[in-house]
Amino acid sequence: MTNETLTVTDNRTGKTYEIPIENETIPAAALRKIKVDPDDFGLMTYDPGYGNTASCKSAITYIDGDKGILRYRGYPIEQLAEQSTFLEVAYLLIHGELPSKDELERWENDVMHHTFVHENLARMVEAFRYDAHPMSILISALSIMSSMHADAKDVQNAAARKKQVLRILGKLPTVAAFAYRHRIGRPYNYPNSDLSYTGNFLYMLDYMKQTHYEVNPVLAKALDVLFILHADHEQNCSTAVMRNIGSAMADPYVAMSGAAAALSGPLHGGANEAVVKMLGVIGDEKHVPSYIERVKKGDFRLMGFGHRVYKNYDPRARIVKQIAYDVFKVTGTDPLLDIALKLEEVALQDEYFVSRKLYPNVDFYSGIIYRAMRFPTDMFTVLFALGRAPGWLAQWLELITDEEQRIARPRQVYLGAEERAYVPLGER
């Protein structure tokens, strides 16, 4: 027996158990041997929100939340943000290695040749009310796409899986752009695969038949970097949903529809939208201290602050802050930035935030950039979803090919009523 074990004594029975330790974890199933009598179910762990439960082995993204480290496939996020492109990062996440020049060219061509969507999908967008939240449209579009690509059901087939990856990455910006144009009552622009991934997206959003239309390269680059920063974040809420649905062997469109639904929540991808709303409510730098006092009293949370994993400055937030200045050179500055900077300054010196290790997260500044680029607030989470798509797909592919994975099925601690007899309605 090696010393890579944990010895546990059950004080109810006095019995001692030896549990193996592998990769700094213990197999939860080993606890089931710990029983008071043979008919017992055995011990389980209780972990709401899965704060200390590893649900998979993964080789995709590494995070050290205390040190503020984020790496995709071993490459530091700072280097990828500075030197790579979103599509190259997508390739890296999905294939595990950086592509050669030829591989990258083929990959970019393949993705850009899957940008057109079925006309029925365009008509589905039409069916939404003018003020429909674009995340509702995106979530619905993904499940409609499931019905349009029957081969997606063949999740055990590697070629079929690869095809859906290209389709999803290619078509998602088109759906997002259609949702936006529908919202503002303008005709759809069909994709232009001569442009870069984010260039084409901006084109579909903005083009109005001008004779000399050009995508602004600074804005396309800023969006590309923001997408890189959002591309994966290991087992976050929406990725866990992608894996959970995928574990039932459902196709990747419906799995991603569920993941996008999770992302739309204000504690997850909806946070950047919430940050901009919050900055608007604060309204002026001079109101920052009183706002912070109300946060400390527990009236509400400071949106864009805190993270389940990072107990240090989110490394992505640092990069986003830099991009803000590049974008403002093109778009002009935004008064909300001054309020955000003041909020950060006050919070980072305040005992409440310091002691709880609450730092700005990636969403604290991304919303301000999107606003400066004239995105309506409710498009922010859609942008997050476009960035996160390769991460969701990489995690889904890893799950499908992992022989240790089974259908996700957590346990519960039942604290409800004991068995009792049904009381007829007239006797209640």
Residues in the chain: 428
* Range in contact with ligand ACO (rule: CB under 6 A) among 20-28, 191-199, 356-364, 402-410: 356-364
382 near ligand ACO, judged by CB under 6 A: no
Give the binding-site size for ligand ACO (rule: CB under 6 A). Answer: 18
- 317, 358, 386, 399: which one contacts ligand ACO (CB under 6 A)? 358
* Range in contact with ligand ACO (rule: CB under 6 A) among 147-155, 201-209, 355-363, 390-398: 355-363
| The two three-digit tokens of residue 289, written as one number | 């201290």
Residue 189 CB neighbours (<10 A)? 18
CA atoms within 13 A on the CB side of 398: 25
| Nearest-angstrom CA–CA distance, 272 and 8 | 44
Smallest gap, in angstroms, from Cβ of residue 247 to ligand ACO?
22
- 163, 268, 287, 311: which one contacts ligand ACO (CB under 6 A)? 268
**What are phi and psi for residue 415, nearest 5 degrees?**
-125, 20
Residue nearest to ligand ACO (CB): 306
Q: Which is nearer to ligand ACO, 197 or 353 (CB)?
A: 353
Annotate 186-206 with DSSP letters as a single string. Answer: -PPPPP-TTS-HHHHHHHHHH
Smallest gap, in angstroms, from Cβ of residue 158 to ligand ACO?
31
Spatial CA neighbour of 407 closest among 256, 255, 261, 262: 255
Amino acid of residue 274: A
**What are phi and psi for residue 357, nearest 5 degrees?**
55, 50
The question of whether 307 is a catalytic residue gets the answer yes
Of residues 303 through 342, those in contact with ligand ACO by CB under 6 A are: 303-308
397 near ligand ACO, judged by CB under 6 A: no
Q: Which is nearer to ligand ACO, 99 or 266 (CB)?
A: 266
Residue 357 CB neighbours (<10 A)? 13
- 59, 267, 281, 354: which one contacts ligand ACO (CB under 6 A)? 267
291 near ligand ACO, judged by CB under 6 A: no
CA atoms within 13 A on the CB side of 109: 6
Is residue 394 within 8 Å of 92, Cβ to Cβ? Answer: no
> Residue 45: CB partners within 8 Å, gap ≥ 6?
28, 31, 53
The question of whether 338 is a catalytic residue gets the answer no
Smallest gap, in angstroms, from Cβ of residue 293 to ligand ACO?
12
Smallest gap, in angstroms, from Cβ of residue 16 to ligand ACO?
34
**What are phi and psi for residue 250, nearest 5 degrees?**
-70, 160
The question of whether 230 is a catalytic residue gets the answer no
Catalytic: which of 268, 326, 338, 402? 268
Catalytically active residues are 268, 307, 363
Which positions lie near ligand ACO, rule CB under 6 A?
267-269, 271, 295, 301-308, 356, 358, 361-363
